[in-house]
Structure 1
Amino acid sequence: MPATTLDLGRSAFFEHRWNDALACLARADTEGGLPPQDIELVASVAMLLGRESEGVAYLTRAHDEYVTVGDIAGAARCAAWLVLYLMNLGETARGRRRSVAHSVRHYLLAVIGSCRHGVSGGVLMGETSGLRRTG
């Protein structure tokens, strides 16, 4: 069976062929959509290639897809990366950092609240300070 565009994109990603990965994954996305894990791959590749606005758009989509399917850990991971990328890009002027930081805080609290064991070395969210590592 011939490889699909998605298979070629995944393979290129894992072989660190970033331009090929972006081309194939973006084409697979337009051909039939991607699951959130693959949207995350496209975001990573776009960021690696310096296409920040494209990467943020894909990462936002991945976050939304994870929320839709109920994958809180995936949504929290995307939201945390969005906070870091947006802080690096200086997105505070549009207020986007605060809303994304709020989203990260919400998901992390949900994940922590569902744990039966203590959490050490976690991440705390300050109202205006972004992410702070603890432990």
Structure 2
Amino acid sequence: MNAKRWMMLGTLAIAIAVGHPLYKEGTLPDAAPRASADSESDDGDALLQALGLENDEQLREAIYDGFSLADIARAGGKDPAAVVELQVAEALALLEQRYASGSITEETYLAQREEIPEVVERSVYDT
């Protein structure tokens, strides 16, 4: 499998892990807290909405076919920058949780916080 395919599958794995509706507080280590049961379904659909998709299967197929998240968002009539914003916010929230729980050092926290926007942007726009 080529590097491009690994990048796409990695992005998909992040998208599913962060936005999956079964990802509930306390079910995984360092799980980000959810505000309520109502917001949980909204969080699970946030990535799909940002991409202009209706279900996870459409996302999997598009990623498998070689489209970037930016390509998928544009095809769905959405702004890829909104996808970047969403994923950055979710990644930063998870990072904050890890730091607050003591599972990472302040040095690691600061370094990762600085890197997240660039890493997410590359993952959204790269195929």
Settle same-fold status: TM greater than 0.5: no
* TM, length-normalised to structure 2: 0.32
Bigger Cα Rg: 1
TM-score (norm 1): 0.31
Between 1 and 2, higher relative CO (CA 8 Å, sep ≥ 6) is seen in 2
